[in-house]
Structure formats: C-alpha cells, structure tokens
Amino acid sequence: DIQMTQSPSSVSASVGDRVTITCRASQTISSWLAWYQQKPGKAPKLLISAASTLQSGVPSRFDGSGSGTDYTLTITSLQPEDFATYYCQQGDRYPLTFGGGTKVEIK
Amino acid sequence: EVQLVESGGGLVQPGGSLRLSCAASGFTFSTFWMSWVRQAPGKGLEWVANIKQHGSEKYYVDSVRGRFTISRDNTKNSLFLQMNSLRAEDTAVYYCARAYSSSSDDAFDIWGQGTMVTVSS
C-alpha cells in the first residue's frame, strides 16, 4: 500500500499568512494527488485534483504543486474560513490512501 | 442540486450486520464511479471501497475485504454497502462520495452528510 505522510500535523497561523502543507508518498504517484478541506462535523470538500487542478468554485488562494512523491498545498493568504483540517489523498493505485491530516488553527 | 444522502447507520453488536444506502440526485448516477469513505471518531479519513459505473469493477481496503460488499442500483440511483462481521474498529461515520469526473476514480467531489455506525455490545 502507498503510505501518505503529511506535515505538519498542525499549524497555527494568522489571517493573511501564507501556509504550506506537504504530503509525501511512499512511492511515486504520478501526480494522482488530491487535497481536501474538512471542517468539524462536515464532509470533506475537494479542493484540488491531479496535484494542481483547482476545483470549480475553490478560491485561487489555494495552490497545489508537486510531482513524483512530493506534493504541496499552499494557501497564499489565509482567510477566516480556511481554518480547518486538510487531507491529501493518492489516487494512483488501490487501495486509495489518505494522509493523516493537517489542522490549521488560529494563532 | 447535486446531492448524496446516506442512511442505514446505527448501533450494532460485534459480529452483526448493517446495510448502508446512499441516494443520489441531481446528476447522471450511472456515469460515475462511486465510493465509501469512513472516519472513526476523532480520526482521519479512510477509503473503504469503490465501484465502477455499472458494477463491473469493485475495490476494497484490506481491512474490510471479505466482510463488506459495495453495490449499486443505477435504476434507483442508489449506492449500498453491506457490512457483515462488524468489529469495534469499524465504528465510524461512513460517507458516500462521487468521483469528480465520469472518467476518473481517483478523487471525490460530491460527498454525503455521513451516517454513523457504532459497533458495540
């Protein structure tokens, strides 16, 4: 199985800050990488697919990049509604696997 | 409105069975891969199973293979998860989710609200 390692597990940041979350796969996943945002008590929301494709309606302050085994989600200017937990997920091969999550908290 | 609504969760004893359902609306259900994803209380997301548009391919996480069965009824726009031999570690919120395009099975853009399954004596 492909293991997905996210870091950091949590980050404290202020509104307007730039936040970067990384995700490392245990083997190459050929950019089959998705990012989700989840708020407490809610279902996940797909932000980015195929490593860098922003989903419709997602603000442009969210940016995905990476290739091979290493991927990054950047929030260029953190907004109040962005405080949430973020997950990466590989879709290259079964079983599909998620990272452990990164909680973005208010500083 | 594109929507997924799960039902069928509840409290069940270890070794018992439960069948989850997911009703889809607002899109052409038969053209998308569908998935079940679960989340144990206070934990992260875990993919459980995927099923292809007409059910010809099914995939499972190892921990449920042989105990859970994913299925669909395209005539009723419905997805199912039959869960047998339930264990305490199956306790979670179970989400139904839709692949983000009709040609993909790798990520999911529409999610239900989730249904809670509790396995306890």
Identity of the residue in B50, B62, B108 whose CB atom sits nearest the CB atom of A46: B108
B101-115 in b/e form (b: 16+ CB < 10 A) is eeebbbbbbbbbebb
Share of chain B above pLDDT 70, in %: 100
- For residue range A87-99, list pLDDT tens digits in order: 999 999 999 999 9
HSE of B109, CA atoms in CB hemisphere, 13 A = 19
- Residue B80, burial from CB neighbour count under 10 angstroms (0-12, 13-18, 19+): buried
Nearest residue in B to A29, CA atom: B106
Identity of the residue in B95, B105, B109 whose CB atom sits nearest the CB atom of A46: B109
Residues 6+ apart with CB under 8 A from A81: none
Q: Is the omega angle on the peptide bond into residue A95 within 30 degrees of 0, that is, cis?
A: yes
What end-to-end distance do the CA atoms of chain A give, in Å? 36
Cβ contacts of B112 on chain A, cutoff 8 Å: 43
Rg of chain A (C-alpha set): 13
Query: Using beta carbons and an 8 Å cutoff, which residues of A are at the interface with B?
Result: 1, 32, 34, 36, 38, 43-46, 49-50, 55, 87, 89, 91-92, 94-101
- Banded pLDDT at B102 (limits 50, 70, 90): confident
Please state the length of chain A. Answer: 107
Secondary structure of residue B18 in the 3-state scheme: strand
- Residue A90, burial from CB neighbour count under 10 angstroms (0-12, 13-18, 19+): buried
Cβ contacts of B104 on chain A, cutoff 8 Å: 49, 91
Amino acid code (one letter) for A18 = R
- For residue range A36-75, list pLDDT tens digits in order: 999 999 999 999 999 999 999 999 999 999 999 999 999 9
Distance from CA of A92 to the nearest CA of B (A): 7
Q: Do B95 and A91 touch (CB under 8 A)?
A: no
What is the predicted pLDDT for the residue at A52? 98
Q: Do B111 and A55 touch (CB under 8 A)?
A: no
Q: Provide the edge-to-edge strand list for the sheet that holds A70-75.
A: A4-7, A19-25, A70-75, A62-67
- For residue range B25-78, list pLDDT tens digits in order: 999 999 999 999 999 999 999 999 999 999 999 999 999 999 999 999 999 999
Cβ contacts of B109 on chain A, cutoff 8 Å: 46, 49, 55
- Residue B118, burial from CB neighbour count under 10 angstroms (0-12, 13-18, 19+): middle
Is-contact A104 A48, C-beta < 8 A? no
DSSP string, B30-71: GGS-EEEEEE-TTS-EEEEEEE-TTSS-EEE-TTTBTTEEEE
Q: In the predicted model, is pLDDT for residue B24 greater than 90?
A: yes
What is the predicted pLDDT for the residue at A50? 97
HSE of B98, CA atoms in CB hemisphere, 13 A = 26
Q: Do B44 and A100 touch (CB under 8 A)?
A: yes
